[in-house]
Amino acid sequence: MTRPLIGVSVSKRTGWRVFPLIALNVWLTGGRALRCDATRDFDLDAVDGVIIGGGDDVGPELYGGKIGLSARLDPARDCFELALAKDALDMNIPVLGICRGAQMLNVALGGTLDQDAWTTFAAARKITTILPKREVCLETGTRLEQLCGPDPMYVNALHSQAISGLGDGLRVSARDSFGMVQAVERVRDPFALGVQWHPEHLFYAHRQRAIFRALVNAGRAHRDHRQQTRAAMADAKYA
């Protein structure tokens, strides 16, 4: 059976090194990846799922924050990915947000961000390695807990911003040991999960691969439902 096609949004500037690793994780869990960014033509109706990758900070003007505090901004990418997240959810296409992508998912649903998370959570020493050094605890009864199990797990934490006010229809699914939100998820379908760490760097860990596998499986289900719906409409048209 054809692998589900997952659109992967990355930065034009750093996508050359980010996309291959995400694509590897998608392939290892049964899918295939298609790179997209603000400079490429992209048909959302042609993909079965979407990953919004990490990178530059989300522009504060998108959620009422203070202009000028963020160190790295990409307005073109912000505009593209905000529309991408909103449209994917409207079309019932599964979405996985990674780091910046989790924050964009939250903003797309009306949430806000803490622009200086490491000052707010001063006791939490910022970690700048891709190695899993940050402990996170999964919230009971969440989809993330169902995917990865109830035990705490160690992840990386390369972000500078963090999710603050939750977007509509989202719930917290993981916090680190200092209380900072590290994952959010939609409480109803379509599948939408955002993690503030980078699971693509932890592909050797089965609990991190489970996150990609969940997206790929959701994408497969979406594709099958879409094909069945179109077939039923065609049959009705010529009945």
For domain 5-237, give the CATH number.
3.40.50.880
- Average per-residue pLDDT for the chain: 92
pLDDT score recorded for residue 39: 87
pLDDT by residue (tens digit) across 1-21? 699 999 999 998 888 889 999
Among candidate residues 36, 99, 185, 201, the one labeled active-site is 99
Give the active site residue among 145, 148, 159, 198. 198
Mean pLDDT along residues 26-38? 96
Contacts 24+ apart (CB under 8 A), 164-170: 164/111, 164/112, 164/113, 164/114, 165/111, 165/112, 166/106, 166/111, 167/105, 167/106, 167/107, 167/108, 167/109, 167/110, 167/111, 168/109, 168/110, 168/111, 169/109, 170/105, 170/106, 170/109, 170/111
Let me know how many helices (H) and strands (E) the chain has, helices first: 6, 11
For the chain, domain boundaries:
5-237
| Catalytic entry in 148, 200, 201, 222 | 200
Q: What are phi and psi of 235, to 5 degrees?
A: -65, -40
pLDDT in tens, 66-115: 766 555 778 999 999 999 999 999 999 999 999 999 999 999 999 999 99
Q: What is the mean pLDDT of residues 186-194?
A: 94
**Choice among 57-66, 142-151, 170-179, 194-203 with the minimum mean pLDDT:** 57-66
148 is catalytic: no
Catalytic residue check, 137: no
